Amino acid sequence: MNGKAQNISIADAAGFLKTNDNFYILTHLSPDGDAMGSGFGLCFALRAMGKKANVLCSDPFPKRYSFLYGDYVPMKFTPQTIVTVDLADTTLFGRELQVYGDYVDIAIDHHISNTKYAARLLLDGNATAACELIYQVLKEGNMPIDKQVAACLYTGIATDSGCFKFENTTPKAHMIAAELMGYGIPFAKINRQLFDIKSKARFMVEQYVINNLETYLDDKCAMIAVTAETVKETGLAQEEFEGLASIPMQIEGVEVGVTIKEKEPNKFKVSMRSAESVNVSDICAKLGGGGHMRAAGCTVEGDLSQVKLKLLSVIAPAMGFDLWLS
């Protein structure tokens, strides 16, 4: 049932939320700060209006965002209105939410790739975060924004903009964040929680991958690898090994960063990042993958040393090195 959505405005979305009740607010698998912030920000605002609202996700709410939803308790009611936030397509609903796929009344999203699965779609591909849209909807509708709602919405903008460092950070994102700061939110504490501290397990994972990092091609290509064996040896949860791709990029002079993770025996998922000029999407396409110019991925089969060789044989020429294999 994709492609059926009617595009609506901020004012339409506000009107719709105000005239409906008994909301299930759905967000995507592996919820990030924007998913959590937009889901709970909207939920708390609707509850403050005396409406019934719950946040649903097929994955558990991550503990690191518990400062947003600490005192949240699901309410008991029969849902009448299904809203999605930050949710680009129905494959991201996950097992538990799949059942709502064809019944979404309104989607609020900032992914240009949104598959228009909902009856109504508020989409702004220029918005840094879905939270930016939720804020505008609440404001437009004169709906209640308290300190907790403001903290939720600020969190989504901060996370999706990489603490206002990524290219997608807009003047508008800064202006909305500034308005949210006006609600007295503990922004320094929030940013420390989001960007500075990590679990001890995560710290150990990073220590491991840094110890085992390798560089190639005059130190312009850095590679980290995580095998199933490694995960087993460390005794750390699989999820602690997610999102490592930025680590090789932290080294000065590195132009291509490669993160290799064993998904099945002899099957490796590869994430590639580029600092500036190298098009990693083209490199990954040669191995059957794809993505964006500066962030792409592919799957490569073989044992770890074979995988590294296969990768270097396509990375080297793309970076202007002679094909040193053959």
Contact set with Mn ion (CB under 5 A): 34, 86, 129-130, 160
Short-list 84, 85, 114, 86, CA closest to 101: 84
Q: Smallest gap, in angstroms, from Cβ of residue 321 to Mn ion?
A: 37
Closer to Mn ion at the Cβ: 86 or 240?
86
Tokens representing 9 are 């405005």
Min CB(118)–Mn ion separation in Å: 16
> Sign (positive/negative) of CA torsion 297, 302, 304, 306?
negative
- Please, which residue, 129 or 145, has the CB nearer to Mn ion? 129
Q: How far is the CB of 133 from Mn ion (least distance, A)?
A: 10
CA atoms of 290 and 8, how far apart (whole Å): 32
> In terms of Cα–Cα distance, which of 4, 303, 48, 242 is closest to 152?
48
In three-state secondary structure terms, 264 is: strand
Give least dist CB 30 to Mn ion, A: 12
With respect to Mn ion, which residue has the nearer C-beta, 34 or 105?
A: 34
Q: Which two tokens stand for residue 207?
A: 């220590």
The least distance separating Mn ion from the CB of residue 85, rounded to whole angstroms, comes to 9
If one counts every other C-beta atom within 10 angstroms of the C-beta of residue 232, the result is 9
Which residue number, 153 or 272, has a Cβ lying nearer to Mn ion? 153
Query: Can you list the alpha helix ranges (DSSP code H) found in the chain?
Result: 10-19, 33-48, 66-69, 94-97, 130-140, 147-160, 171-181, 187-191, 200-211, 228-234, 280-285, 304-318
Which of 85/287 has CB closer to Mn ion?
Answer: 85
Nearer to Mn ion, 110 or 308 (CB): 110
The residue whose Cβ lies closest to Mn ion is 34
Nearest distance from C-beta of residue 145 to Mn ion, angstroms: 19
